[in-house]
Amino acid sequence: MNFIIKIFYSVVVNLLIFLSLLNAQTNNQHPDLVFPKNWSNPTILPDHVILTFSEDPSTTQSVTWRTNTSVKKGIAEIALADGAPRFWRNLIQYTAVTTLMNADEILTANISSNYHSATFKNLIPDTLYAYRVGDGEHWSEWFQFRTAAKIAKPFSFLYVGDAQNYILELWSRLIRQGYKTAPEARFIVHAGDLVNNAHHEIQWHEWFTAGGWLHGMLPSVPTPGNHEYRNYNTEEESKNISHLSYQWPYQFTLPQNGPDLLKETVYFFDYQNTRIISLNSNRLIKEQVPWLDSVLSNNPNKWTVITFHHPVFSGAKGRDNKELRNLWKPLFDKHSVDLVLTGHDHTYTRGQSPKAKNTITGLNKKDGATVYVVSVSGGKMYTLSEDLWNEYTDAKLDRKAENTQLFQVINIDGDKLKYEAYTATGQLYDAFDLIKRYNKGNQLIDKVKQVITERSHTNTIIYENSKKY
């Protein structure tokens, strides 16, 4: 009898070991999501509905959406939002500009769609509106958004680094947690690499599906990353030729106030006493200098936030961006830019450049230098280099992370900018305040003591070998 029990025990133990190995093997393989054929194809119904700013956010609001090519016209309707369900009795109708996106010949896009774009105008500042889009017969649901105030009222916005990989699988929870943490946020800054393969229609459909109706409620402020530049065909690939994501100008209706060759990737807008600037760190870096100098010189706003993709100070080995630092950072110093929001490194770093001199006031900005952030929101994670920012003699790193999906909430209230970074599970990971002090530079109040333990590859769930790295 004992023998039978021993045999039985041995079989059970071996079975358990086998199952655990099988489980580990499954985790190691963890395949990418597979979508049914035509999953990302447009239909006669509006989809990819997205708000963007193209003019003054206090009186205008742009909306863009996609249909299949059988839908030849687009209509957008807007009304003052009201608790009564027939608020739409007071609606105003706009005819959209409808444009064919013929991407049949574009590698990984292989699709034709119609894009419809409308800009609501003469809106009342700081007012809640409801809108819907369609063709007169087929409609979206009613979405709501609030216009910016004309005056410097407090507001918040979200900022995220690279979504890029496992977008529907993993970026979805991150951006939805962002909305839960900051439901009153007024817009989302996307610091490049929104997708992995610039023209890939399925990946864009993942991005729109992951964000869902948030894209129709919270305007997006996108800046392109290196992954928004790819070849159109295999011949171009061999010649190392790349183009901005084919979908970009069709699906994002953005300000036209940038340099001619970089329209809708380089632009700015003002929001309640804050100037938000998008630069293109992929192309014509030198050519953007005079434009940036002018936009920073003629800036009546109290706060200035700049976003682009490649970090000024990189925390990852072999990813330094010297040209960009040499050409753009002197302007950030000269004009006392408050915050620079970037991505690309698939890690988190935040710090300042304390030895920078303010060339206007001559003050040593020991306490008041521009704050530089790198963050990541999607599922691909790199490793921080061992010497981190030590190679930069004029910069000091204050907070870092590996292997962690993050979103940031930035609140601007008068003389105070409150910055918070959160993990995908809503835990506060980094925090500081900037306080405006005239002719002295900003005071930075670090709140790192109030946040969770630093996260790295060594104290979090193993990442290597579990997916493509």
- Does the protein bind Fe ion through residue 162 (CB under 5 A)? yes
Size of the site for Fe ion (CB under 5 A): 6
- Does the protein bind Fe ion through residue 161 (CB under 5 A)? no
Minimum distance from residue 319 beta carbon to Fe ion (Å): 9
Q: Which is nearer to Fe ion, 281 or 336 (CB)?
A: 281
Q: Residues 153, 127: contact at Cβ < 8 Å?
A: no
Q: Which is nearer to Fe ion, 76 or 376 (CB)?
A: 376
Name the one range near Fe ion by CB under 5 A: 4-12, 205-213, 338-346, 424-432.
338-346
Minimum distance from residue 198 beta carbon to Fe ion (Å): 11
Minimum distance from residue 382 beta carbon to Fe ion (Å): 9
Contact letters for Fe ion, residues 213-252 (x by CB under 5 A): ------------xx--------------------------
Spell out a b/e string for 191-224, using b for 16 or more CB atoms within 10 Å of the CB, else e.
bbbbbbbbbbbbbbbbbbbbbeebbbbbbbbbbb
Minimum distance from residue 381 beta carbon to Fe ion (Å): 11
Q: Which is nearer to Fe ion, 109 or 191 (CB)?
A: 191
Among 96, 197, 164, 84, smallest CA distance to 130 is for 84
Name the one range near Fe ion by CB under 5 A: 1-9, 267-275, 339-347, 401-409.
339-347
Q: Which is nearer to Fe ion, 133 or 198 (CB)?
A: 198
Among 306, 305, 341, 265, smallest CA distance to 155 is for 305
Site for Fe ion in 346-405 (CB under 5 A): none
Name the one range near Fe ion by CB under 5 A: 142-150, 160-168, 211-219, 291-299.
160-168
Q: Which is nearer to Fe ion, 67 or 231 (CB)?
A: 231
CA distance 186 to 272: 11
Name the one range near Fe ion by CB under 5 A: 57-65, 98-106, 193-201, 316-324.
193-201
DSSP assignment string, 106-173: STTT-EEEEEEEEEE-SPPTT-EEEEEEESSSSB-PPEEEEPPPSS---EEEEEE-B--SSIIIIIHH
CA 51 → CA 32, 77, 144, 147, distances in Å?
29, 14, 10, 12
388 Cβ contact list (under 8 Å, min separation 6): 315, 349, 397, 400
Name the one range near Fe ion by CB under 5 A: 270-278, 328-336, 340-348, 417-425.
340-348
Q: Which is nearer to Fe ion, 274 or 385 (CB)?
A: 385
CA 436 → CA 152, 221, 382, 432, distances in Å?
14, 25, 35, 13
Name the one range near Fe ion by CB under 5 A: 173-181, 188-196, 204-212, 347-355.
188-196
Among 132, 215, 344, 455, binds Fe ion (CB under 5 A): 344
Minimum distance from residue 193 beta carbon to Fe ion (Å): 4
227 Cβ contact list (under 8 Å, min separation 6): 162, 164, 192, 193, 194, 195, 196, 197, 198
Among 56, 193, 201, 402, binds Fe ion (CB under 5 A): 193
Residues at the interface with Fe ion (CB under 5 A): 162, 164, 193, 225-226, 344
